[in-house]
A and B are shown apart, each in its own frame.
Chain A
Amino acid sequence: METVMVAEVLDKSGRVHSRLRLERFPVSIGRGYHNDIILDDEFVSPDHARIELDEAGQPVVVDLDSDNGTYVLPRLTRITRQPLGSETLLRLGHTLIRLRSADYRVPPARRDSLGLTRATRWLTQGAGAALAYGTALALIILDHYQGSAEVVSPEQLLLAALSIALAIPVWAGLWALVSRSFAHHAYFVPHLAIASAAVVAFFALDTLGQYYAFAFSAGLSADLLFQLVTVLVSAAALYGHLRFATLLTPRVIGTTALLTAVVLVGMTGFSDYVGSLEFSDDLPYPGELKPPAFAFTQPKTPARFAEDAKALLPALDAGELD
């Protein structure tokens, strides 16, 4: 049987830099230009090593008394002669060479799940992205209109939306750059869709949170809920961006996105907490006011309200707010 091997010269990140099919032996390796495999590495000797067939016809690597030696990974053992299996990783000088036999079994193809669900595919195509982007801008304009105490002109409203209108494509553009370098495709439209959807989600959840805080006079629980929702929305957005920007597995991306979101929200939460320890004469009541139709809680009498307020005293007198 004829022995065929493949030699792969790897770069520092482990990617294949060059690949050579070896059919005729011996094969010489070194820095000199007379070699079969020429290594452009100043730590490699001109005649460094040779791959030859032993008596049984099995391939072996032989060190040619090189200056810096030949090593076998993973344990970096220096060798003078080493039989080659189906896969061997060698280190010569600073260069890694992977030697595989031609019958090396590669794993089956990875399932390409990018944009597999119908909803994701729809969102990340032109129409969906345009809708998400348009909705985000419409919400910004609506928020500005509802929040202004003065008569506002359409021009002022457009101006208010301008910064976000620009910020979303710029953000998507940055992700597109990342995509281009790691996934070899820009995916600008999906990134635009994801960023816009995140803006819409934040708006929707913030509004819901405000109504919740109003309806239940909730301070702390509304804050915690908001933090949790922020983590989930940012993690989802980050997951989407990373799915298009990298070739990592969904599990790795999911974990990375969630951890990043937790760390980011945790950091702002921690800085808020440190701020709350500072002395302040602010009144920490939930300040949300919504139209009467959204007040779901049964109102108390003034007497009952004053009575309930006495529950503040033990913590206050115990110095918990000092």
Chain B
Amino acid sequence: MHYLTKAGIDSILLCLIWLVALPSALAQTQQIFSRYQDRVVQVRILEASSGAKAGVGSGFVVSASGLIVTNYHVIADLVHKPGLYRGEVLTATGLLAPLRLVNFDVVHDLALVATDIAFPRHLTLATGPVAIGERLYSIGTPLDLGFTIVEGTYNGLLEHSLYEKIHFTGSINPGMSGGPALLADGRVVGVNVATAGNQVSFLVPARYVAELLARTPGIAPLEPGAAQALLQRDLVANQARYMERLLARPLPTVPLGDYRVPGLVAPFLRCWGDAEHDPSNVYEQVTQQCSSEDDIYLSRTQQTGMVHFQHVFVAGRNINRFRFYALYQAQFNQPYEKIPAEREDVSRFACHTDFVRHGSLDFKAALCLRRYKRLPGLYDAVLRAATLDHNTRGLVTTLVLAGVSADNAHRFARHYLESFAQERRPWKR
């Protein structure tokens, strides 16, 4: 019964798709563009004193009240430097009006703005399931070149992502950010947000637009000062969400040299490995790293929300312990995976360093924190530790957490260190 029903819906959907898709694809793209372009706008950020364009993005009308959706990263200047920048909206029909920031969701890179323009029509959201391979039409103003439509295909949700995104095979270019990706029937599946080049692009699923709309009572602009509080609240809640998942159970480990080390500790991470075996070197090295490969855009200078860790196992080849420890020390002082931020965003790091023993493993460990100057309660944390139980072998591990609470940084530092163990089968070349 269950299967029948599902098959029934699927076949109806398929018929519908075929009905729409049968006419020539070219004619259809033209039709979609001419039918919906009046609901798509260009969002401009202007330097306040000169009125010169500082950045452009796209947006679309999403409610009868005239609310326009765009990306948070398009309007971020209005949040961070409200005195230096202002925004305006240009419609496909050539109307130009100042915009007001109404609400945003920094975690999913969405923002709602309002204007005095009366839009007769708006786009609706497709929050239900979409089949992989379905054609999507992305509209926006790439590189400030005027309103443009790009065809592509829906390729499902990204599997390894901290912040859910749709994989869209099509060319999204800078300036199209915030524009809609439509089904052939004009419903919005996602919001253009990013590209990895070569037709690999990403959309914010429409369901986050719906959620943002649901918690936006009207079109009143955000009070001055409310934006930072909103940012802080969203970011604190977001890190609590994923850190809770990381802290919920012992971290799964994988073997690396003489040790067991945290591996793919959460589905939103992606792990890579590499080995270095150069006969002219007096050591061998095996590296593993896992990263969320995803971040939250806060401002031109600051990104946050990443989780990254790296293990480097080093084994000396026929060298004395002092020579090994000289190069092991160099490894302990290697640059870490930097978190983009400037002086106006964060403090300098402060570190706590000590010897740590867990089970039969000894470490030298340093935990460093820096605070977010404008977002109280959030910190970047870097934990670096080197095992100290062998004269000519060792493991240096580095954990980077961007934008977490101090409590979560401390709890996870402990949790992370406690997951290391000695591998039962000792390492052999």
Contact = CB atoms under 8 A, between A and B. Distances in A.
Interface string A133-155: 00000000000011111110000
A267 B366 CA distance: 30
Contact of B329 (A280, A288, A301): A288
B355 A217 contact: yes
A150 B391 contact: no
Contact of A283 (B322, B351, B386, B411): B351
Interface string A280-313: 1111111111111001011111110111111111
A56 interface: no
A319 interface: yes
A289 B328 CA distance: 7
Contacts, number: 158
Given A146-B322, A287-B332, A305 B350 contact: no
Nearest to A213: B353
B281 A306 contact: no
Given A281-B341, A289-B386, A291-B391, A302 B358 contact: yes
B181 interface: no
A316 interface: yes
Contact of B351 (A149, A284, A290): A284
A287 B329 contact: yes
B350 A315 contact: yes
B368 interface: yes
B329 A298 contact: no
B83 to A, nearest CB: 21
A150 B410 contact: no
B306 to A, nearest CB: 14
Contacts of B332: 287, 289
B356 interface: yes
Contacts of B154: none
Nearest to B377: A317
A283 B352 CA distance: 10
A147 B356 contact: no
A273 interface: no
Interface string B378-406: 01001010101111000000000000001
B323 A297 contact: no
Contacts of A301: 356-358
A174 B39 CA distance: 82
Contacts of B333: 287
A282 B282 contact: no
Contact of B413 (A146, A150, A291, A306): A306
A281 B338 contact: yes
A219 B329 CA distance: 15
A160 to B, nearest CB: 14
A149 B283 contact: yes
Contact of A305 (B329, B330, B354, B388): B354
Contacts of B365: 305
Contact of A306 (B280, B373, B414): B414
A119 interface: no
A289 B363 CA distance: 10
Name, among B282, B341, B354, B389, the residue most crowded by chain A CB atoms within 10 Å (CB to CB).
B354
Given A290-B325, A305-B414, A285 B351 contact: yes
Nearest to B331: A289
A305 B367 contact: yes
A10 to B, nearest CB: 61
A76 B341 CA distance: 70
B371 interface: yes
A2 interface: no
A322 interface: yes
A321 interface: yes
A321 B369 CA distance: 10
Nearest to A287: B333
Nearest to B386: A289
B352 A312 contact: yes
B282 A279 contact: no
Nearest to A147: B326
B282 A151 contact: yes
Given A150-B280, A306-B411, A310-B410, A292 B388 contact: yes
B372 to A, nearest CB: 11
A223 to B, nearest CB: 13
Contact of A299 (B328, B362, B373): B362
Interface of B: 280-283, 321-330, 332-333, 336, 338-339, 341-343, 346-358, 362-371, 373, 376, 379, 382, 384, 386, 388-391, 406, 410-411, 413-414, 417-418
Interface of A: 145-151, 214, 217, 219, 279-292, 295, 297-303, 305-313, 315-317, 319, 321-322
27 contacts: A146-B326, A147-B323, A149-B281, A149-B330, A150-B280, A150-B281, A217-B355, A217-B364, A279-B343, A281-B341, A281-B349, A283-B351, A284-B349, A284-B350, A285-B384, A287-B332, A289-B386, A291-B391, A292-B391, A301-B356, A302-B356, A302-B358, A303-B414, A321-B349, A321-B370, A322-B347, A322-B348
Given A146-B323, A282-B349, 8 more contacts: A217-B354, A285-B351, A288-B329, A299-B356, A302-B417, A305-B354, A305-B367, A321-B371
